[in-house]
């Protein structure tokens, strides 16, 4: 039975010579603590980036009563709740009765619905958002966010059961490749960045599951052709690519965002200008609360703040990698690896865009960029990752770092 993240049972501590005055620090705890730290920083920085010259300022009251605080608290509660679930039992459900297949089908349908004129919301030239309830609530989400999590879960379930035949093309590899092609083909119509992210993570999972590299290499040319066609047939994507290659050719137009992002990073220095004291958020840097929030972090918290953000993501990746290695179930191992890669690669892509190493893709920084549903879904995925952390063996208990617990008061 999978033990939920938390203190080690008494019989385990007694077997390894430990006492009840210590709590074992597990990888699941590292994932959860890093996620909470990022969400707490997100609330602060999104509010700071939302400041304007009309007198609206950042106060403790506005901070604790805002919708961003509500979203962050909801995300933490969802993560803690999901981390207590028995995910192994869910992964063991056979066939189409497994909820991950139902979830993937619903998510793909929602992506198609979001493309319909009059139904989906168009933002920055792309129609890929849906609104929940009246628009005055401001609660919108991208169905492609659901697709990326359900896609890796479905792939983990499939490959976990058929790992022995994945080296056979028709009997093992054809179906997961078709599933990836359908999912990415639907998402790429309006969301190129997420489609590329899903494709990269899924290919990594197939390699980890035992697929032959030359089988996957056969599909590389069609994938490149499809990616090129998606870029060439979209004017705003061509403009983004041109502005990435030559931002100074149009510094007040297509290259404006990239240049202002670099200006924000350069102005921060090592310690930054201080929380709330940044300049670029006052109408200079577009998308300062969402995709380019990291530039505001660099400006106000400096290189030190940026290093802490990167360290938090590295901690999640390190802990997730360890959870994947320690799992004996193939499906659990692949799902752990998929969640870890999804968070890590998405963060890497966003940092590449903000630092103008990559062209703008509309990829948010996980757990930081403003977006309530994005925070909640990512936190739920990390809760799944925490729930997959296997219980420690006696040998591991002897070597694990320990955190002292506060002593209990003596009985009256």
- Check pLDDT > 90 for residue 382: yes
Tens-digit pLDDT profile for residues 75-114: 999 999 999 999 988 888 887 778 999 999 999 999 999 8
Over residues 156-170, mean pLDDT: 89
- Check pLDDT > 90 for residue 237: no
Which pLDDT value is given to residue 62?
73
* 8 Å CB contact between 1 and 92: no
Residue in 318, 398, 300, 352 with CA at minimum distance from that of residue 48: 300
How far, in Å, CA of 327 to CA of 158, rounded? 17
- Check pLDDT > 70 for residue 197: yes
- Check pLDDT > 50 for residue 14: no
Residue in 214, 215, 218, 220 with CA at minimum distance from that of residue 200: 220
Residue in 324, 279, 314 with CA at minimum distance from that of residue 298: 279
Which pLDDT value is given to residue 3?
47
Decide which of 391 and 364 is more confident. Answer: 364
* 8 Å CB contact between 319 and 31: yes
pLDDT band at 13; cut points 50, 70, 90: very low
- The DSSP secondary-structure symbol of 122 reads E
Residue in 369, 374, 373, 363 with CA at minimum distance from that of residue 192: 363
Mean pLDDT (the chain) is: 86
Decide which of 278 and 20 is more confident. Answer: 278
Over residues 305-325, mean pLDDT: 96
pLDDT band at 407; cut points 50, 70, 90: low
């Amino acid at each position: 039975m999978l033990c939920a993240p938390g203190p080690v049972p008494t019989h385990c501590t007694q077997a390894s010579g430990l006492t009840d005055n210590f709590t074992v620090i597990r990888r699941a705890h590292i994932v959860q603590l890093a996620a909470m730290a990022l969400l707490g920083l997100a609330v602060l920085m999104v509010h700071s980036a939302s400041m304007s010259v009309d007198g609206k300022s950042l106060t403790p009251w506005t901070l604790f009563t805002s919708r961003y605080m509500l979203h962050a608290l909801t995300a933490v509660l969802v993560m803690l709740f999901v981390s207590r679930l028995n995910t192994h039992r869910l992964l063991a459900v056979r066939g189409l009765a497994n909820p991950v297949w139902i979830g993937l089908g619903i998510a793909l349908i929602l992506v198609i619905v979001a493309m319909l004129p009059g139904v989906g919301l168009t933002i920055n030239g792309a129609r890929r958002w849906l609104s929940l309830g009246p628009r005055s609530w401001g609660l919108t989400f991208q169905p492609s966010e659901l697709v990326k999590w359900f896609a890796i879960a479905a792939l983990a379930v499939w490959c976990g059961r058929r790992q022995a035949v994945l080296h056979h093309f028709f009997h093992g590899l054809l179906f997961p490749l078709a599933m990836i092609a359908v999912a990415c083909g639907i998402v790429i119509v309006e969301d190129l960045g997420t489609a590329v992210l899903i494709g990269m993570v899924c290919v990594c999972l197939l390699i980890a599951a035992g697929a032959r590299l030359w089988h996957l290499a056969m599909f590389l040319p069609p994938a490149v052709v499809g990616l090129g066609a998606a870029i060439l047939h979209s004017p705003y994507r061509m403009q983004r690519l041109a502005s990435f290659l030559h931002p100074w050719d149009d510094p007040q137009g297509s290259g404006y965002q990239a240049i202002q992002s670099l200006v924000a990073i350069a102005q921060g220095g090592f310690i930054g200008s201080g929380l709330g004291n940044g300049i670029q958020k006052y109408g200079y840097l577009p998308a300062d609360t969402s995709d380019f929030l990291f530039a505001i972090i660099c400006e106000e918290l400096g290189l030190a703040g940026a290093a802490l953000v990167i360290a938090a993501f590295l901690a999640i990746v390190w802990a997730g990698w360890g959870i994947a290695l320690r799992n004996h179930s193939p499906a659990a191992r692949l799902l752990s690896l998929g969640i870890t890669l999804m968070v890590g690669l998405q963060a890497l892509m966003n940092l590449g865009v903000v630092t103008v190493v990559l062209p703008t893709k509309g990829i948010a920084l996980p757990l930081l960029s403003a977006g309530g549903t994005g925070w909640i879904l990512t936190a739920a995925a990390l809760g799944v990752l925490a729930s997959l952390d296997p219980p420690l063996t006696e040998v591991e208990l002897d070597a694990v770092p320990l955190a002292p617990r506060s002593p209990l008061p003596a009985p009256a």
